[in-house]
Amino acid sequence: MPDSVPPKMFISDLRPERIATIEATVSKLEPIREFEQRSGGAKKVRNGTLKDGTGEIALVLWGDEVDAVSEGEKVRIVEGWVKDYKGRPQISLGKLGRMEKVAPP
């Protein structure tokens, strides 16, 4: 995963219906689930939590993304999509976003 410019946003800055770039630690990952798509075939999904010094946000990983990170790793979400889910913000890579691992200092 290539490095990009560090973000100037924090979890506390995130608002639904916006694109965001943040750095945070994967503090929790739930087990991978599979579900049947209406169009046929199975798709993988995994929920988790990202944390930085300002707060936490729900993370949703889809398809090949579900195996991309482990708990405790620091990641940079570049152009991730923030949306409201059941009254709380969550971030996913959406159609244009990407996730990069951040090397420890």
Residue ranges per domain, the chain?
A: 11-101
- The predicted-structure confidence for 51-94, as pLDDT tens digits, reads as follows 999 999 999 999 999 999 999 999 999 999 999 999 999 999 99
Stronger pLDDT, 4 or 69, i.e. the higher one: 69
Q: Are 26 and 50 within 8 A, CB to CB?
A: yes
Which helix (H) or strand (E) is 47 found in, with range?
strand 42-52
Phi, psi of 96 (to 5 degrees): -110, -10
Q: Does the domain formed by 11-101 have CATH 2.40.110.10?
A: no
Expressed in angstroms, the distance from the first to the final Cα of the chain is 17
The C-alpha atoms of residue 23 and residue 44 are separated, in whole angstroms, by 24
CA distances from 78 to 3, 33, 84 (A): 10, 24, 19
Full-model pTM: 0.86
Residue 1: its pLDDT value, please? 47
What was the pLDDT predicted at 3?
Answer: 57
Tell me: the pLDDT tens digits for 9-46?
A: 899 999 999 999 999 999 999 999 998 888 888 889 99
Q: Regarding predicted confidence, which is higher, 1 or 12? A: 12
